[in-house]
Amino acid sequence: VHDVLFDNLRFYPMTAGPEADGGAADPAASPAAAAGTCFAVTDGRFSAVGETVPASRRVDLGGRAVLPGFIDCHTHLVYAGDRRVEHARRRAGASYEEIAAAGGGILSTVRAVRAASEDELVDESLPRAAALLREGVTTLEIKSGYGLDLESELKMLRAARRIGELLPLTVRTTFLGAHTVPAGRDRADYLAEVVDVMLPAVAAEGLADAVDIFVESIAFGLDDLRTLAAAASRQGLPLRVHAEQLSSQGATALAAELGALSCDHLEYASPADVAAMAAAGTVAVLLPGAYYFLREQRPPPVAELRSAGVPMAVASDVNPGSSPIVSLLTNLHMAGVLFGLGPAEALAGVTQHAAMALGLGEDRGRIAQGLRADFTVWDLDDPGVLLYQLGGVTPAQVYVGGVPA
Ligand code: NIG
Ligand code: FE
């Protein structure tokens, strides 16, 4: 006997991939509803999908639409302070790179994070996570990378883990010690500390689920990526990479060859980068909020990614510098308007493909037998509306592990 039968609903399993359409999904398509009108949950997982089964309890969802819980697979949500002044300077003509080179940018948030206690980081960051949960985000990735010394990186990761204990959502943490070079440090010397001291300590405390690096003219290079990838693999941690955000570096192709789970940003990705991702099965994580907020002019090569069959995820990149946009629904909408993703594609980007970017593709992100029963309930005829209307639509209910959040 199953625990709960959820009945009288329309559900969107998000199980179809690009392969279902012979390699090129129809960009205009909305997600397809399943034939059945119910599913069962037992011990927090979908235990029957689409068929009426005996259960201890029955919940009538009143004919509403059900989607898998959203997964925000790329955020820097734990931080202190803000960068409003810098933003105003950019509006007046300074570039993101110029501000970084002058000691602002990431380094100004590093100063604020080092000065904050773990409790203060939690207090400042928790409302951001709570806002995402209200939009239906049930799995949230959070990166470190504003500490850039051992104690401050550990503090950020502990704060991130605590958010997962304080709210009914799953937090997955990523160690981004290689976000940029701290003030006054030599790049190679700092990267050696990341690899030899910080990463082993983070791994020993079980504080990271993945490792990330920002490859860019203002941060790290291809050799650093190779070194970090080897170190991550020694710790048994998957690799993710901030690649081709502001310029073309070839980081995407290299990361794909090195077995990265995902390459993220990709505005400047080349055809060779796309081919390498397709060959390796790397997920492309698109971050339209950063593109919008920095007023970038070159969108990622979505048509090429689509026809190569590269799974595309969409995430918020919440951070104080390039995406102070605490809304996955807004990013979903921008993925459509600014990057040309269709409704089914963009919604797969915040469900099944986002799960893949976290290495959780067999655990969540779809409504299918055996997967975690994280789902959201909507008063919508067609979830594709979320690519059309911006604002004013939030889930009627959010369930985590089959229980109301
Ligand atoms: O994903 N690209 C590097 N990291 C962040 C921005 C960090 C910041 O400016 O604070 C990003 O855009
Ligand atoms: Fe980022």
Q: Is the pLDDT of residue 22 over 50?
A: no
Q: Is the pLDDT of residue 21 over 50?
A: no
Query: Is residue 153 within 8 Å of residue 177, measured between CB atoms?
Result: yes
User: pLDDT digit string (tens) for 77-125?
Assistant: 999 999 999 999 999 999 999 999 888 999 999 999 999 999 999 999 9
Q: Which residue has the tokens 């990761």?
A: 157
Long-range contacts of 186-193 (CB under 8 A, 24+ apart): 187/220, 187/224, 190/148, 191/220, 191/224, 191/227, 191/228, 193/150
Ligand that comes closest to the CA of residue 220: 1
pLDDT for residue 27: 79
Q: How far apart are CA 405 and CA 400, in angstroms?
A: 6
Q: What are phi and psi of 333, to 5 degrees?
A: -65, -45
User: pLDDT digit string (tens) for 269-326?
Assistant: 999 999 999 999 999 999 999 999 999 999 999 999 999 999 999 999 999 999 999 9
Q: How far apart are CA 200 and CA 299, in angstroms?
A: 36
Please tell me the distance between residue 284's alpha carbon and the centre of ligand 2 in angstroms. Answer: 13
Structure tokens at 387: 């690519």
Q: What are phi and psi of 377, to 5 degrees?
A: -115, 130
Q: Which residues, 6+ apart, have CB-to-CB distance to 68 below 8 Å?
A: 12, 13, 14, 351, 352, 364, 365, 366, 367, 374, 375, 376
Angle, CA of 225, 231 and 235, to the nearest 5°: 140
Q: Verify whether ligand 1 is closer than 6 Å to residue 105 (CB atom).
A: yes
Average pLDDT, the chain: 96
Question: Which is the closest atom of ligand 1 to the Cα of 105?
Answer: 9
User: pLDDT digit string (tens) for 40-70?
Assistant: 999 999 999 999 999 999 999 999 999 999 9
Structure tokens at 237: 């941690």
Question: Which is the closest atom of ligand 1 to the Cα of 96?
Answer: 9
Kindly report the protein residue whose alpha carbon is nearest to atom 9 of ligand 1: 321
Ligand that comes closest to the CA of residue 290: 1
Find, among 144, 255, 275, the residue nearest to 265 by Cα: 255
Q: Verify whether ligand 1 is closer than 6 Å to residue 290 (CB atom).
A: yes
Query: Is residue 335 within 8 Å of residue 290, measured between CB atoms?
Result: no
Please tell me the distance between residue 213's alpha carbon and the centre of ligand 2 in angstroms. Answer: 9
Please tell me the distance between residue 292's alpha carbon and the centre of ligand 1 in angstroms. Answer: 13
Angle, CA of 363, 72 and 396, to the nearest 5°: 90
User: pLDDT digit string (tens) for 267-282?
Assistant: 999 999 999 999 999 9
Structure tokens at 9: 């609903």
Query: Is residue 216 within 8 Å of residue 247, measured between CB atoms?
Result: yes
What average pLDDT score do residues 184-202 get?
98
Please tell me the distance between residue 75's alpha carbon and the centre of ligand 1 in angstroms. Answer: 9
Q: How far apart are CA 147 and CA 273, in angstroms?
A: 30
Please tell me the distance between residue 322's alpha carbon and the centre of ligand 1 in angstroms. Answer: 6
Complete DSSP assignment for 95-127: -HHHHHHTT-THHHHHHHHHHS-HHHHHHHHHH
Q: In the chain, pLDDT over 70 holds for what percent of residues?
A: 98
Q: Verify whether ligand 1 is closer than 6 Å to residue 109 (CB atom).
A: yes
3-state secondary structure of 28: coil
SS3 content of the chain, % helix, strand, coil (to 5): 35, 20, 40
User: pLDDT digit string (tens) for 220-252?
Assistant: 999 999 999 999 999 999 999 999 999 999 999
Please list, residue by residue across 201-220, b when 16 or more beta carbons sit within 10 angstroms of its beta carbon and e when fewer do. Answer: ebbeeebbbbbbbbbbebbb
Report the predicted TM-score, pTM, of the whole model to 2 decimal places.
0.97
pLDDT for residue 255: 98
Q: Verify whether ligand 1 is closer than 6 Å to residue 245 (CB atom).
A: yes
Query: Is residue 313 within 8 Å of residue 303, measured between CB atoms?
Result: no
Kindly report the protein residue whose alpha carbon is nearest to atom 3 of ligand 1: 214
pLDDT for residue 166: 98
Q: Is the pLDDT of residue 24 over 80?
A: no
Please tell me the distance between residue 72's alpha carbon and the centre of ligand 2 in angstroms. Answer: 12
Q: Is the pLDDT of residue 19 over 50?
A: no
Q: Verify whether ligand 1 is closer than 6 Å to residue 108 (CB atom).
A: no
Please tell me the distance between residue 381's alpha carbon and the centre of ligand 2 in angstroms. Answer: 33
Kindly report the protein residue whose alpha carbon is nearest to atom 6 of ligand 1: 322
Q: Which residues, 6+ apart, have CB-to-CB distance to 146 below 8 Å?
A: 76, 78, 79, 80, 106, 109, 110, 112, 113, 152, 156, 179
Residue 343 has what DSSP assignment? H
pLDDT-based confidence at residue 17 (cuts at 50, 70, 90): low
Ligand that comes closest to the CA of residue 262: 2
pLDDT for residue 23: 43
